[in-house]
Structure 1
Amino acid sequence: MVGGRPRQFDPDAALNRAMDVFWRQGYEGTALSDLTEAMGINRPSLYAAFGNKEDLFRKVLDRYIEGPRAFATHALNRPTAVEVAEALMSGTIALTAGPNTPRGCLLVSHAHACGPDTDTIRAEVIARRTSSTAALCHRLERARAEGDLPIEADPKALAYFVTAIIDGIATQAANGCNHEDLRHISELALRMWPARTPVWAADLSRPLYRSRPVRAATS
């Protein structure tokens, strides 16, 4: 404090620095002292502006999804299903293996690394990941209805397939895999993308996939 007045700080800049700390060190590996030092504020200011550590992490998740990971939302607006998948994979490579961000994905790492004392954090991350997969499934269902995917395509399975690929890319990036090798992974995955099938050539005897809610993993 100077002259009895609280020190002023930029909440947006402080939140970005907190995101960087959580991204690099993980929730459990981050102490309040790490956060206050990185954010340039004391504990009372942190609590007053952001709440406790768990509250701050939830705000960081919002910032991460709306900021560095915003490409995932924009990808759903691409004109074709394969372009959606390609944009998700290329965006994940740029984010998780780029020179200006920590390696790996904040959501992927916290879905697996949290221990029993942080079950609420893990549940929060899984809920957000599940919502993202459900949005992708909905987009692929629309693609099939528009004829952009073969009529026998399984949107839910494709949504899980893309999610598994981008999760794998993020994990390999965290392990130090280089940008070119990650791009080869995405290229190989896209080669397996189902080609459009003319209605007259489709096997109409096969039952159409009926969408079920995408549920969070239990383990």
Structure 2
Amino acid sequence: MAGRPREFDKQQALRKAMRLFWEHGYEGTSMSALVSALGIASARIYAAFGSKQQLFEEAVALYESAEGGFADRALALPDIHQALTQMFEDAISTYTRADEPRGCLVVSAASGVAPDNLAVQQWLSGHRRQRTESIVERLRQAREQGQLPADTQVEALGHFYATFLHGISVQARDGVPAHDLREASRQALTLLPNTQG
């Protein structure tokens, strides 16, 4: 057994990598930083995950199933007003936590990249578009269920709320306090039509 490399916990390593990418972005996270944080040699990182990009994609999947999964959970709530209110509240709580990097990993990890990393940027862009589509679809469903007036422009409203959601991430990363983001969220939600009104 002499010389055999120590076993490592792949999920634990993935969580450490996720935090690094979340805090420093894709390009800002070097292989040497990953080696240091994960406590294993770069050759073992490549053996376990394939490449830095594949490690990043697995880290994003972990983020979306945990910290970043709040939007899917909120949008599953039966009432559209409750769903959007919860989505924004959870975004603000997640993006301004003192013990985690600020903002959203998917929004901030590759906003600007070198030409070699355009594929990463485009991959993340696809994830953000999926979020927009999920909000539009949830609004469409609410309109069909009579929770929103029949003439509600769900496409425009969905794009607005997705833009606002992604903007919360940018503002949180810039240090805007949670209280101010909650006030802005309350204003944004006044645009949601009410069938009683």
| Fold conserved between structures, TM > 0.5 | yes
For the aligned residue pairs, the C-alpha RMSD in angstroms reads 1.4
Indicate the residue corresponding to 1:122 in structure 2. 121
Match in the other structure for 1:132? 131
| Structure 2, unpaired ranges of 5+ | none
The answer (yes or no) to whether the contact 2:68–2:104 under 8 Å persists in 1 is no
Partner of residue 157, structure 1: 156
Identity, in percent, stands at 36
Alignment partner, residue 56 of structure 1: 55
Tell me how far 1:141 sits from its aligned partner: 0.8
1:65 Cα deviation after fit: 0.7
Indicate if the aligned counterparts of 2:92 and 2:182 stay in contact, CA closer than 8 A: yes
- Does 1:15 pair with 2:20? no
Equivalent AA in structure 1 for residue 187 of structure 2: L
Q: Does 1:46 align with 2:45?
A: yes
Match of 2:96 in 1: 97
Cα deviation for residue 110 of structure 1 reads 3.2
Conservation of the 8 A alpha-carbon contact between 1:96 and 1:105: yes
- Does 2:35 match 1:36? yes
Q: Secondary structure at the match of 2:27?
A: coil
Report deviation, 1:197: 5.4
Secondary structure in 2 aligned to 1:151? coil
Instruction: Report the 3-state secondary structure (helix = DSSP H, G, I; strand = E; otherwise coil) of the residue aligned with 1:28.
Output: helix
Cα distance per residue 1:41-100 (max 9 Å; x no partner): 111110111111111111111111111111111111111112121111111101110122
1:123: how far off? 0.8
Query: Following the alignment from structure 1 to structure 2, what is the Cα–Cα distance between the partners of residues 97 and 177?
Result: 9
SS in 1 for 2:99: coil
Q: Which amino acid aligns with 2:104?
A: C
Secondary structure class of the residue paired with 2:56: helix
CA shift, 1:138, in A, is 1.3
Residue 108 of structure 1 corresponds to which residue in structure 2? 107
Comparing 63-72 and 111-120, the one that deviates more: 111-120
Q: Distance in 2 between matches of 1:155 and 1:70?
A: 23
Give the Cα separation in 2 of the matches to 1:22 and 1:57. Answer: 7
* 1:49-88 mapped onto 2 (5 Å cutoff): 49-88=48-87
- Structure having the higher helix fraction is 2
Paired AA for residue 124 in structure 1: W
Partner-residue secondary structure (3-state), 1:26? helix
The Cα shift of 1:113 comes to 2.4
Greater C-alpha Rg: 1
Q: TM-score, normalised by structure 1?
A: 0.86
2: CA distance between counterparts of 1:181 and 1:3?
58
Alpha-carbon distance between aligned partners in 2 of 1:158 and 1:111, rounded to the nearest angstrom? 26
Structure 1 counterpart SS, 2:67: coil
CA contact (8 A) 1:93 1:169 kept: yes
In the aligned structure 2, how far is the partner of 1:89 from the partner of 1:102? 18
AA at the equivalent of 1:122: Q
| Cα separation, 2, equivalents of 1:111 and 1:90 | 24
Q: Which runs of 4+ in 1 moved over 4 A?
A: none
For 1:115 and 1:184, how far apart are their aligned partners in 2?
37
> What letter matches 2:119 in structure 1?
T
Deviations 1:146-202 (A, max 9, x none): 10011110111121111111111111100011111111111111122212158xxxx
